[in-house]
A and B are shown apart, each in its own frame.
Chain A
Amino acid sequence: EAGVAQSPRYKIIEKRQSVAFWCNPISGHATLYWYQQILGQGPKLLIQFQNNGVVDDSQLPKDRFSAERLKGVDSTLKIQPAKLEDSAVYLCASSLGPASGNTIYFGEGSWLTVV
């Protein structure tokens, strides 16, 4: 079974530029998550989708971050304009559904450096 796919793996941009990350979840997984992991910290949830609807985006900096999940499968996370503090790993994850007992599987992450 294929895992969660993410691209690009690495990206270096200058501050105030924009960047987009793509995620393809495990087939059949209705719930998709985007996490931000800053060096030395645990992952922090940015946004959660159930199919193509947003369940939780309370920690998403909406002035610069946006995400969509069209057709309830792939998802894109965009940052515009980027700030230095956005340097982090952006992890996409998916699960069968939102129930507590469902395992959340992570992709390998997209590493962003803002200079």
Chain B
Amino acid sequence: QKEVEQDPGPLSVPEGAIVSLNCTYSNSAFQYFMWYRQYSRKGPELLMYTYSSGNKEDGRFTAQVDKSSKYISLFIRDSQPSDSATYLCAKKYGNKLVFGAGTILRVKS
């Protein structure tokens, strides 16, 4: 079983839609959870990170962690064509960062 599982998509939505991106993880060691965004031909950039269960908001983005079910989610409200990218979930414990496969998101105008 992979440490972080993520549906690769692609996920295609119309502009303005609410997007839900999801990951599951194994191994419950002390850890942070992160979402990175990766545009085509670019390196990953950190969008959000959280440690505790619950929600964390940043503008149109909300990260949600449910440690009891080992589920992490990223919600994007009012999605824009500029949100089209690959979204990578990751967990970090100590100095180790483990990524999921990434979900390709396409927002159509």
Residues of A within 8 A of B (CB): 4, 31, 33, 40-45, 48, 50, 55-56, 91, 93, 98-101, 103-109, 111
Contact = CB atoms under 8 A, between A and B. Distances in A.
B43 A108 contact: yes
Given A40-B101, A42-B88, A91-B44, A56 B95 contact: yes
Contact of A45 (B97, B100, B101): B97
A93 B90 CA distance: 15
B95 A55 contact: yes
Given A100-B31, A100-B32, A103-B49, A43 B44 contact: yes
Nearest to B4: A42
B32 A101 contact: yes
Interface residues of B, number: 27
Nearest to A4: B43
Most chain B beta-carbon contacts within 10 A, residue among A33, A42, A107: A42
Main secondary structure of the interface of B (DSSP, over half): strand
Interface in B10-48: 30-32, 36, 41-46
25 contacts: A33-B97, A40-B8, A41-B101, A42-B6, A42-B88, A42-B101, A43-B44, A45-B96, A45-B97, A55-B95, A56-B95, A56-B96, A91-B43, A93-B43, A99-B94, A100-B31, A100-B32, A100-B93, A103-B46, A105-B46, A107-B43, A108-B42, A109-B42, A109-B43, A111-B41
Nearest to B8: A40
B77 interface: no
Contacts of B100: 42
Nearest to A106: B43
Interface string B62-97: 000000000000000000000000001010111111
